[in-house]
Chains A and B, each alone.
Chain A
Amino acid sequence: MNSSQLLSVTTFIYGVAAFLYLSAWVFKKEGPGRVATWTTLAAVVCNIAGFLLRWVESYQLGIGHAPLSNLYESLTFFSWTIAVLYLVVERKYRNRVIGAFVLPLAFLAMAYASLSPNISDRIQPLIPALKSNWLIAHVIACFIGYAAFAVAFGTSLMYLLRSKPSAAEESLLNRLPDPPVLEELTYQMVVFGFLFLSAGIITGAVWANSAWGRYWGWDPKETWSLITWFVYATLLHARLMRGWGGRRIAYLSVIGFAAVLFTYFGVNLLPGLHSYGAMGS
């Protein structure tokens, strides 16, 4: 089995885990929940095995490098960090409902990597600019940050659902953790993510400075990561303002995660200025 196949299997296991967490929540059953935890653990093991195997394969191809160099590889790492972080949270807070909101994200990221026709899973050689240890630190830090924001996004959604006035009566919603717990958890995840996003932006800047002689150039990807950072810095300070209740913080966390997604996927979609259609000669 090669790494791509192993990672496809991983996608499937994440899907099963997400499904089990959702059923445990909806049908209020302990059983599927416990299986879900073990399934997630299996997926995490498979995921990291695929990652390491890919690393080995790149050396066998004679172009050895850490598998963090393109969209496919970073997405597989992203899923892995989401799942690991989630397992830590589950252990600490002893609550599996959160999994119903977080594991689908890990599954979607992997499924997108495996199935999207635009994403190639070929192992490619590194172009000269990417040969830098700062780059590896940069990618790892960014994705740990993004994974924390993904978990915060899940808990913020739960908060928004749970803090509706009618939530206490709806049995599906009142099984979510209490709003103060969700609020605290969101904050913890944002704080964790903020540290790693800062580290990601900083290592990226140091890398840019060693490759091109400037640490900041306002290119769209850089700028979007800074926008994301501004949004989460806003969130941290908004907490200090009286009158800013949990819902507004939750909305900021959702906006922040949207900015994360845009930084990651959206930047490639930005319109160019030059359309050549009408060019005469």
Chain B
Amino acid sequence: MNRLWKFFISVKLTVVVLLSLAATSIIGTLIPQNEPAEAYRQAFGDFFYRLFDVLDIFDMYHSWWFRLLVAMLAVNIVACSIERLSSTWKILFPRVPPFRMGKIRKTDNQQAFNSPTPPPRLLESFRRHVGRGFRYLRVEEEDSGYRILAERRRWTRAGVYVVHTSVVLLLAGGLIGSFFGFEGYVNIPEGEATDTIRLRNSDQMIRLPFAIRCDDFDVSFYPSGAPKEFRSSLTLLQDGKPLLSKDIIVNDPLRHAGINIFQSSYGRMPGERMQQATRPPPESITLQLTSTETGMAYEETVEMGQTFELPEGAGTFQFKEYQPAATFMGQNIGEALIGHLTPAEGKPSDVLLPLRFANFDKMRRGRIVISVVDVQPEASDTNLATPPRQRWYTGLQVTSDPGVWVVYLGFVLMLTGCFITFFLSHQQIVVEVVPKEEGSRVTVYGVANRNRIGYRRRIEAISGSLSGIADTLESGGSP
């Protein structure tokens, strides 16, 4: 038991755990997480696929071993704090603040000067001057002289505990969120309502305590074709009756009953007839090109066979062919366009753009994500006299996280704690005055637990002022 405790309170463990967390976290950035199993099998082969799967590499930040490391960190912090609790308490709340003269005399942060005034006449002025900068002050008489002992900011020694508490709060908040929260998506066509959403990284659907209706959706564009703002007018419904309405845009969500609704994406409804795939081969298509580096989106309309320059010098792209029933990994994915991408660097390759899945090309992880936003002409049996109204759907992210306030409290404590620990210090000053010949010898010592360079300047300054005060007293004036 004792040895286990020793293990958990050691800073060595902290260093090992922090470095392990840093090192293992890299894995999940090299291997994309939570992709479909098929994609992994294709990329790594069967053997490594199974090995990685057993080790939870494909969802490593939620794996048992990564959680174990995080738990070790938490236990380490808590154990360490408990272990030092009593000594910290004594340091923070001493009955009489101790000044260890043995140690203080050894500091190299000290200044001395002589004054012709005898010690007793200096006391009151010195005490007043030192007391101005230091909250706590007492005077100890000794031999024929005395010492003025003063200090300030003893409480800053608790800063480290604030930091460590904040880490525990962050972990606790995360835990609360993962047990009691959820994160899901839903696409709602204009004019429709739904109360079920799909959870992230799973096929599970859950039902909300209210329905969300998308009354209207609008998107505006910059002249470059990049989206400027997208806005959904939403109404929440309970038992068919409206609860509240709000327009949401990116960065301005709707929050109700602990559930948050965010504008996250949008798209055009595939024309109802398009799915029948009775169109003639398209003559031209409109592509949206989204740069993963700058986040910018561009629109480009091209004809079959045409090649054009990708934005941001990313290479060229040719619209090669149209397939009414393309397959991907053995699945029929319906109508698709095939393009030929010649990147600025690297090998040219074919790119598949299924009409039904607007975000398909994200999987390629290229510099530019390509998606088809329009195909001309419309499906063959469209009545040209009354073209179908282009309908939008709004892509919403729906989340609930009861732990978020714990996490935010952790954020505040982390920053306050770091600031206190790093930039404020517990400072002590001792002004020792002893008789010397007719006058006195004054020595000023300073010790601080941080920022010693800055404190040395302060002691020099204080010593200078004290010397000045002694001089005025000598010449008979009152300081």
Q: Please report A residues at the B interface, Cβ cutoff 8 Å.
A: 63, 70-71, 92, 117-118, 120, 124-125, 127-132, 184, 191-192, 194-195, 198-199, 202, 205-206, 209-216, 218, 220, 223-224, 226-227, 230-231, 233-234, 237-238, 240-241, 259, 267-268, 270-277, 279-281
Near A by CB (< 8 A), chain B positions 128-168 give none
The answer to whether B29 touches A212 (Cβ under 8 A) is no
Near A by CB (< 8 A), chain B positions 400-435 give 401, 404, 407-408, 411, 414-415, 418-419, 422-423
Cβ contacts B323-348/A at 8 Å (1 or 0 each): 10011100000001010000000010
Q: Does B442 contact A (CB under 8 A)?
A: no
Q: A71-B293, A214-B401, A274-B365 are in contact. Are A198 and B415 (CB under 8 A)?
A: yes
Q: A128-B230, A211-B250, A281-B323 are in contact. Are A220 and B29 (CB under 8 A)?
A: yes
The answer to whether B18 touches A132 (Cβ under 8 A) is no
The answer to whether B250 touches A195 (Cβ under 8 A) is no
* Whole-angstrom CA separation of A182 from B262 in the bound complex: 49
**Closest A residue, CB atoms, query B60:** A218
Among the interface residues A92, A214, A240, which one has the most CB atoms of the partner chain B within 10 A?
A214
* Whole-angstrom CA separation of A237 from B14 in the bound complex: 7
> Which chain B residues lie closer than 8 Å to A223 at the CB level?
25, 28-29, 61
Partner of A212, one of B14, B262, B418, B423: B262
Q: Does B21 contact A (CB under 8 A)?
A: yes
Q: Does B111 contact A (CB under 8 A)?
A: no
> Which chain B residues lie closer than 8 Å to A212 at the CB level?
262, 264, 397
Q: Does B364 contact A (CB under 8 A)?
A: yes
Partner of B18, one of A202, A233, A275, A277: A233
The answer to whether B297 touches A270 (Cβ under 8 A) is no
Partner of A213, one of B363, B399, B422: B399
In angstroms, how far is the closest chain A Cβ from the Cβ of B260?
A: 5
* Whole-angstrom CA separation of A275 from B418 in the bound complex: 45
18 further interface pairs, Cβ-Cβ under 8 Å (given A124-B296, A202-B411, A274-B363) = A118-B313, A125-B228, A129-B295, A130-B295, A198-B414, A198-B418, A210-B252, A211-B262, A213-B253, A213-B398, A215-B404, A218-B33, A220-B29, A223-B29, A237-B14, A270-B29, A271-B30, A279-B328
Q: Does B26 contact A (CB under 8 A)?
A: yes
Q: A195-B422, A273-B365, A276-B349 are in contact. Are A131 and B18 (CB under 8 A)?
A: no
Q: Offer 24 A-B interface pairs, CB within 8 angstroms, sorted by A.
A: A124-B224, A124-B296, A125-B222, A128-B250, A132-B251, A184-B453, A205-B411, A212-B264, A212-B397, A215-B404, A216-B174, A220-B29, A223-B61, A227-B25, A230-B25, A231-B18, A241-B12, A241-B15, A268-B292, A272-B366, A274-B364, A276-B351, A279-B352, A280-B327
